[in-house]
Amino acid sequence: MRVFLLYPDQDFQSDGELYPNEPTITPDLDLSTLWQAMARGDDFLREMSQRIILTRVTEIATIGYRQDVLQDSLDNESLVREIYSMAVSAIEREKKSYFGFFSRYPSAILGRSLEVMTIFVEILERLRALAETYKPQFKSSGFSRFFAMVIEELGTDYLIEIRRHLRELKFQKGLFMSVRLGPGNKGSHYILNPRPTTQRRRWIQRIAIKEPDYLTYVVADRDEAGARALTELWDRGIDVVANALAQSVDHILGFFIQLRMELGFYVAGMNLYETLRRLEAPVCFPTPLEFGAPYLGFEELYDPCLLLRRGESVSGNTLTCHDKTLTIITGANQGGKSTFLRSIGLAQLMMQAGLFVGAKSWRTPVASGVFTHYKREEDGSMQSGKLDEELQRMSEVVDQIRPHAMILFNESFTATNEREGSEISRQILRALGEKHITVFFVTHLYELARTLYDEHSDHVLFLRAQRAPDGSRTFRLIEAPPLNTSYGEDVYREIFEV
Amino acid sequence: MAFTSVLFIRPDDIPGVDVEPAYFKDLNLDQVVQAMTRGRSEYNLAPFFYTSLHDVDAILYRQEVFRDLGETEVFAQIHTFGQKLRVMRERLTQAEKRYYPYQKAAWFRDAVEVYCGAIDDLASGLTDRPLASSGLCSFREYLLQYRRSDGFTELLADTELLRRELGSVHYRLHLKGQRIEVYPSADDQDYSAVIEKTFHKFKQGAVKQYRSTFRKDPDMNHVEASILDLVAKWYPEIFSHLQTYYTHRHDYLDPTIGRFDREIQFYLAVHEYVEGFKARGRSFCYPEPSDSKKNIFAKDGFDLALAETLKMEPSAIVCNDFHLAGAERILVVSGPNQGGKTTFARMFGQLHYWANLGCPTPAHAARLMVWDRLLTHFERQEDLGALRGKLQDDLERIHDILLVASSRSIIIMNEIFTSTTLQDAIFLSREILQRIQTLDSLAVCVTFIEELATLSEKTVSMVSTMAQDDPTQRTYKVVRRPQDGRAYAISIAEKYRVTYDWIQERIL
Domain ranges of chain A: 22-170+249-278, 287-496
CATH no. of B283-506: 3.40.50.300
Tell whether the model's pLDDT for residue A262 goes beyond 90: yes
- For residue B471, what pLDDT is reported? 57
- For residue B16, what pLDDT is reported? 66
Tell whether the model's pLDDT for residue A212 goes beyond 90: no
Tell whether the model's pLDDT for residue A381 goes beyond 60: no
CATH no. of A22-170+249-278: 1.10.1420
Tell whether the model's pLDDT for residue A386 goes beyond 50: yes
What average pLDDT does the segment B120-127 reach? 95
Sign of torsion over alpha carbons A349, A354, A360, A362: positive
Low-confidence winner among A115-119, A403-407, B182-186 (lowest mean pLDDT):
B182-186
User: What 3-state DSSP class applies to A445?
Assistant: coil
Q: CB–CB of B206 and A194 under 8 A?
A: no
- Cβ atoms of B72 and B57 closer than 8 Å: no
What average pLDDT does the segment A61-83 reach? 97
How far apart are alpha carbons A200 and B200 in whole angstroms?
33
- Nearest by CB: A191 against B94, B190, B211: B190
User: What letter does residue B500 receive in the DSSP assignment?
Assistant: H
pLDDT tens digits, residue range A479-495?
A: 888 876 544 455 455 55
Q: CB–CB of A185 and B192 under 8 A?
A: no
What average pLDDT does the segment B325-335 reach? 90
- CA-CA distances (angstroms) from residue A50 to A45, A260, A304? 8, 15, 16
- For residue A99, what pLDDT is reported? 55
Sign of torsion over alpha carbons A232, A237, A239, A242: negative
- For residue B305, what pLDDT is reported? 86
What average pLDDT does the segment A419-431 reach? 80
B211/chain A closest Cα distance in angstroms: 5
pLDDT tens digits, residue range B210-227?
A: 888 887 778 899 999 999
pLDDT tens digits, residue range A274-313?
A: 999 999 999 999 999 999 899 999 999 999 999 999 888 7
Helices A31-39 and A224-278 meet at what angle, rounded to 10? 110
Interface test with A, best of B174, B176, B200 (most A CBs within 10 A): B174
Confidence of residue A344 (pLDDT cuts 50, 70, 90): very high
How far apart are alpha carbons B167 and B156 in whole angstroms?
17
**What secondary structure does DSSP assign to A62-88, as a single string?**
HHHHHHHHHHHHHHTHHHHHHHHHHHH
User: What 3-state DSSP class applies to A1?
Assistant: coil
A185/chain B closest Cα distance in angstroms: 6
User: What letter does residue A48 receive in the DSSP assignment?
Assistant: H
Mean residue pLDDT across chain B: 86
- For residue B30, what pLDDT is reported? 92
What average pLDDT does the segment B132-151 reach? 95
What average pLDDT does the segment A104-116 reach? 90
Tell whether the model's pLDDT for residue A220 goes beyond 60: yes
A347 touches chain B (CB under 8 A): no
How far apart are alpha carbons B497 and B239 in whole angstroms?
87
A64 touches chain B (CB under 8 A): no
Mean residue pLDDT across chain A: 88
Q: Let me know if B100 is exposed, middle or buried by CB neighbors in 10 A (0-12, 13-18, 19+).
A: buried
- For residue A11, what pLDDT is reported? 93
| Chain A, chain B: beta-carbon pairs less than 8 Å apart | 201
- Cβ atoms of A281 and A304 closer than 8 Å: yes
Q: Of A421, A428, A459, A460, whose CA–CA distance to A443 is shortest?
A: A421
Amino acid letter, B350: Q
Tell whether the model's pLDDT for residue A78 goes beyond 50: yes
Tell whether the model's pLDDT for residue B150 goes beyond 90: yes
- Nearest by CB: B227 against A161, A217, A247: A217
- For residue B479, what pLDDT is reported? 85
CA B45 to chain centre: 7
What average pLDDT does the segment B316-339 reach? 86
Tell whether the model's pLDDT for residue A100 goes beyond 70: no
B115/chain A closest Cα distance in angstroms: 16
What average pLDDT does the segment B472-476 reach? 69
Q: CB–CB of A179 and B171 under 8 A?
A: yes
- For residue A167, what pLDDT is reported? 94
- For residue B500, what pLDDT is reported? 42
- Cβ atoms of A58 and A291 closer than 8 Å: yes
- For residue B468, what pLDDT is reported? 66
Kindly identify which residue of chain A lies nearest to residue B204, measuring between CA atoms.
A251
Sign of torsion over alpha carbons B442, B443, B449, B453: positive
Tell whether the model's pLDDT for residue B362 goes beyond 90: yes
Q: Which residues contact A486 (CB under 8 A, 6 or more apart)?
A: A330, A331, A332, A333, A444
How far apart are alpha carbons B261 and A326 in whole angstroms?
85
- Cβ atoms of A178 and B169 closer than 8 Å: no
Confidence of residue A336 (pLDDT cuts 50, 70, 90): confident
- For residue B507, what pLDDT is reported? 39
Kindly identify which residue of chain B lies nearest to residue A212, measuring between CA atoms.
B183
pLDDT tens digits, residue range B47-73?
A: 999 999 989 999 999 999 999 999 999
Tell whether the model's pLDDT for residue A168 goes beyond 90: yes
How far apart are alpha carbons B127 and A313 in whole angstroms?
100
- Nearest by CB: A109 against B102, B179, B210: B210
Q: Which CATH number fits domain A287-496: 3.30.1220.10, 3.40.50.300, 3.65.10.10, 3.30.70.100?
A: 3.40.50.300
Q: CB–CB of A250 and B208 under 8 A?
A: yes
Confidence of residue A413 (pLDDT cuts 50, 70, 90): confident
How far apart are alpha carbons A326 and A438 in whole angstroms?
6
- Nearest by CB: A185 against B176, B187, B228: B228
- For residue B419, what pLDDT is reported? 59
Amino acid letter, A182: G
Q: Of A103, A101, A228, A110, whose CA–CA distance to A169 is shortest?
A: A110
User: What letter does residue B12 receive in the DSSP assignment?
Assistant: G
- For residue B474, what pLDDT is reported? 67
Comparing B451 with A209, the larger pLDDT belongs to B451
- CA-CA distances (angstroms) from residue A294 to A431, A439, B492? 18, 13, 80
Comparing A442 with A199, the larger pLDDT belongs to A442
- For residue B456, what pLDDT is reported? 87
* Topology agreement, domain A22-170+249-278 and domain A287-496: no
Confidence of residue B488 (pLDDT cuts 50, 70, 90): very low
pLDDT tens digits, residue range A352-362?
A: 999 999 999 99
- For residue A63, what pLDDT is reported? 98
Q: Which residues contact A33 (CB under 8 A, 6 or more apart)?
A: A305, A308, A309
- Nearest by CB: A215 against B221, B223, B233: B233
What average pLDDT does the segment B361-368 reach? 95
Q: CB–CB of B173 and A233 under 8 A?
A: yes
What average pLDDT does the segment B116-139 reach? 95
Percent of chain B surpassing pLDDT 90? 62
- Nearest by CB: B183 against A1, A214, A250: A214
Per-residue b or e along A52-90, where b marks 16 or more CB atoms closer than 10 Å to that residue's CB: bbbbbbbebebbbbbbbbbebbbebeebbeebbebbbeb
Q: Which residues contact A108 (CB under 8 A, 6 or more apart)?
A: A100, A101
Q: Let me know if B107 is exposed, middle or buried by CB neighbors in 10 A (0-12, 13-18, 19+).
A: buried
- For residue B337, what pLDDT is reported? 59
- For residue B205, what pLDDT is reported? 66
- For residue B280, what pLDDT is reported? 82
CB contacts, 8 Å: A215 with chain B: 181-182, 230, 233-234
CB contacts, 8 Å: B176 with chain A: 173-175
User: What letter does residue B215 receive in the DSSP assignment?
Assistant: P
- Cβ atoms of A175 and A110 closer than 8 Å: no
